[in-house]
Chains A and B, each alone.
Chain A
Amino acid sequence: MTQTADTVVIGGGVVGSAIAYGLAKRGARVTILDEGDDAIRASRVNFGLVWLHGKGDGMPAYGFWTRRSTELWPRFADELKAETGIDTHYVKSGGLSYCLGETEYARETETLQRMREQAERDPYETRMVDRGDLMRMMPGVTFGAEVLGASYGPHDGHVSPLNLLHALHTALMRLGVDYRPGSSVLEVTPAATAGGGFEVRTANETFSTPKVVLAAGHGIMPLMRPLGFEVEILAERGQIMVTERMAPMGLLPANGVRQTAEGTLLIGTTNEDAGYDVSTTPQAGASMVRRAIRVIPALAHVRVVRTWAGLRTLTKDESPIYEESARYPGAFLATCHSGVTLAAVHATDLADAIYNGKLGADIEPFHSQRFLDTKHGR
């Protein structure tokens, strides 16, 4: 039996859920088709940084888009909490990227400088802080001798990615969104006549919809070609470890180590500044751990409770891809590797654009056309 929806969102992770949430708030009748309990779920390997720092090197539009999301996050978090009672633990704390030794400090200084100069105005407002600054910012923490300083991003913050997904799904349920787990999509077929909408087929059901949003990470690969999309999505393995709960340490979040609201410490790698190995072997884990101990030596006595690795969706230039199919208007694609950072802007600006059927000037730069343009030496 064929069912209908205003919009079918394929993918119920952080990206799909944030878009669906925005669409539903604007009044759309949304169906989400999601995988089952074993979905890859990049949000499960997310470090929980809402991070502007280092985003958009070579593509300032991504810097501005991320900055916009960091501006929207406080209200977004409040809204979710008011609607669901679930605290995402979002804190706009500012964030750090530690520099061990002079080489790292010099390289980071240079990177900040370069990125600032790429854009006509500076979306980042990052600055270098030295060891003395760090000690003043975090008086309870004793740093390793090699810590010379850090880059500091005032717009950065952190959040619980698991609570975010929980809150989004709770909100979706309250908004009456039709959420279908265990509904892997086999095929999306455009209607024979242009503007006739789409048929979305799962193993058991078919959905007829004027609009479809592909937001399923790697899962969109087999679905996109018949809809006229030609984008390349890479997989990046990431490894994270989490420790036992500790009393609050007064740490600012950093890529490499942050303390969650529950008290556990996350140790690992983030998506940018790939200073760490991100393969899944214990040896790679050990090198992550060694670096964390070099930053804060007392961490040596804390116990690791769980390590896990997962796949992140990555584009060639690490910036998101958003586009509407030129051949089949009404089919949208959204993929990025910073679904948590961008959740606020996905739930608002991107959802608005999809709802209105027009991806505007702020979103246009994220079309995959950019890769072809580069190839042609623009």
Chain B
Amino acid sequence: MNVTCDFLVIGAGPAGMAAAATAARLGLSTVLVDEQATLGWQIYRQVEGRGDNPPGVSHLDWVRGAALAAEFRASGAAYQSGTQVWQLDKDRKVYVTDGTKAACIVARRVFIATGAMERPVPLPGWTLPGVMTVGAAQIRYKTSQWVPQDGAWLAGSGPLVWLYAAQVLEAGGRIAGILDTAPPANTARALRHTMGALRNWATVQRGRALQQRVRAAGVAVYKHVSALEAKGDGQLSSVRYCINGQWHEKPASLLLLHQGVVPHAHATLSLDAAHRWDERQRCFAPVVDAWGNLSVDGYAAAGDCAGIVGAEASALQGRLAALEGARALGVIDATQRDAQAAPVRAALLRHLPIRPFLDALFAPRASLFEPADDVLVCRCESVTARQIRDAVALGCVGPNQMKAYTRCGMGPCQGRMCGLAATEIIARTRNVSPSEIGLFHVRPPLKPLSLSEFAALAEG
């Protein structure tokens, strides 16, 4: 059965919930589809399930998330949880599946809010069991308050490293040590954006407090780590790291990696919408206007999937996109839209100034983008950095011919884990900017679905 609606929202994080609630309030028939079982996506995971914030999760954040979820629930927007979007057509037919049968939702406007993912950075041994991302461990914390008891190694760069470490300590877990890979030059670069940082001074202070708490708990922090390796035979047994040209090795049972977050742009890429290379955040993001409109008619995207802005700014951007949707569908006029948008924009301006400071402070080390030849880049198809470089030597100028030669990006994750890393490798091999290289073409289905689900799609 085809469902028709005015405003379809993909993703139930802050941007999606805020957009859906705003659109429904304005009278648009609104549907929110999300692949998770519960509202909140990653940042507000389980926000409806608990009365209060878990230890180490800011009470203020928790209240904000819960309020968004409540606003969404009260708005009258329809909510389809456990629903995977697998194809987006330019004519705004959106194909979904509930895990048993595929269906089509025909929408007059589609708003994509698929959030962020942790930047995948291949390194030796990163496929070993026992190696995960910091975000993965934090999801276990948010869903069932699991924290490592045997001591986890945290490695990388980004606010999440410190936030998660503090959460683990507060919840009674153990951190074996933090391997900070941020290059020393980051501090000086960040200081150029001091003005922005000053305007969000509370955020800076929160970050500093987290770091102090972790250090005060006696967690060993190793700075200027220039290279990392996970070692083990079928299971992580140790972590090797290099500081000042000296390699060290420590026993490890859990190694958590993090190199910041990047837009999860799979949906917008699959639409062939225009994307841009963001040098500051070292990622591709869809090109959007001030209302989140994409280059494809009737489609918009906002929140972290359109460029990393954080949860609060994401929710605000979601509201702007909903206002624009209502205008485009003739429910309000441009004047009404602008009037309602004014306070949202003002709030947005309060959240964004700190971004350049944070991006510079936690920027990933450049050498991470040049993994050694034998490092697996594509986890699904087991393709190494050398195979990618060989394809370039053979005349592949971009990732798509390379993919055809190596199968890199052809596995079930559809290039989510290797795409950006492969582009960085090709760019460095060819000595040009990733902006000239581009990304893999993203083909439907956005996630695998069974032939029987596919076959259930109604004809016509």
Contacts and interface: CB of A to CB of B under 8 A. Distances in A.
Touch between A and B in complex, CB under 8 Å? yes
Interface of A: 12, 34, 36-39, 41, 43-44, 162, 165-166, 169-170, 173, 179, 181-182, 242-244, 262, 267, 281-283, 285-287, 289-290, 292-293, 299-308
A299 B451 contact: yes
B213 interface: no
B459 A293 contact: no
Contacts of B414: 305-306
Contacts of A267: 451
B460 interface: yes
B444 A305 contact: no
A182 B89 CA distance: 29
A289 B399 contact: no
Interface stretch (B3-11, B127-135, B344-352, B404-412): B404-412
A38 B400 contact: yes
Given A303-B451, A305-B412, A305-B445, 12 more contacts: A36-B397, A37-B397, A41-B404, A244-B448, A262-B407, A287-B459, A303-B412, A303-B448, A303-B450, A304-B450, A305-B448, A308-B443
A228 B456 CA distance: 51
B450 A301 contact: yes
Contact of A181 (B102, B397, B450): B397
B394 interface: yes
Contacts of A173: 394-395
B404 A286 contact: no
A301 B454 CA distance: 10
Contact of A282 (B87, B400, B407, B448): B87
B451 A301 contact: yes
Contacts of A262: 407
29 contacts: A36-B397, A37-B396, A37-B399, A43-B404, A166-B394, A166-B404, A166-B405, A169-B405, A170-B394, A173-B394, A181-B397, A244-B412, A282-B104, A282-B457, A283-B459, A285-B454, A286-B456, A289-B455, A290-B455, A299-B451, A301-B452, A302-B451, A303-B451, A304-B454, A305-B410, A305-B411, A305-B445, A306-B443, A306-B444
B163 to A, nearest CB: 35
A293 B452 contact: yes
Contacts of A289: 451, 454-455
B452 A304 contact: no
Contacts, number: 111
Contacts of A44: 404
Contacts of B452: 293, 300-301
Nearest to B440: A37
Interface string B16-44: 00000000000000000000000000000
B164 interface: no
A12 B405 CA distance: 14
Question: B102, B398, B401, B452: which has the most chain A beta carbons within 10 Å?
Answer: B401
7 smallest beta-carbon distances between A and B, as pairs: A37-B398, A300-B452, A303-B448, A286-B457, A166-B405, A289-B455, A289-B454
B451 A181 contact: no
Contacts of B400: 37-38
Contact of A306 (B395, B438, B445, B454): B445
Nearest to A300: B452
Interface of B: 87, 89, 95, 102, 104, 394-401, 404-405, 407, 410-412, 414, 437-438, 443-445, 448-452, 454-460
A286 B394 contact: no
Contacts of B102: 282, 286
A182 B397 contact: yes
A282 B443 CA distance: 12
A182 B456 CA distance: 42
B9 to A, nearest CB: 21
Nearest to B452: A300
B347 to A, nearest CB: 40
B450 A37 contact: no
B410 A306 contact: yes
B84 to A, nearest CB: 12
Contacts of B445: 304-307
B425 to A, nearest CB: 14
B88 to A, nearest CB: 11
A287 B102 CA distance: 13
A298 to B, nearest CB: 10
Given A304-B451, A305-B411, A181 B459 contact: no
Given A282-B95, A304-B451, A308-B443, A165 B407 contact: no
Nearest to A32: B395
Contact of A37 (B394, B401, B456): B401
B396 to A, nearest CB: 7
Contacts of A301: 450-452
A156 B134 CA distance: 52
Contacts of B404: 41, 43-44, 162, 165-166
A42 to B, nearest CB: 12
A36 B398 contact: yes
B60 to A, nearest CB: 42
Question: B397, B448, B451, B457: which has the most chain A beta carbons within 10 Å?
Answer: B451
Contacts of A287: 459
A362 B452 CA distance: 47
Nearest to B401: A37
B10 to A, nearest CB: 16
A308 B398 CA distance: 19
A244 B452 CA distance: 14
A293 B455 contact: yes
Nearest to A173: B394
Contacts of A305: 410-412, 414, 445, 448
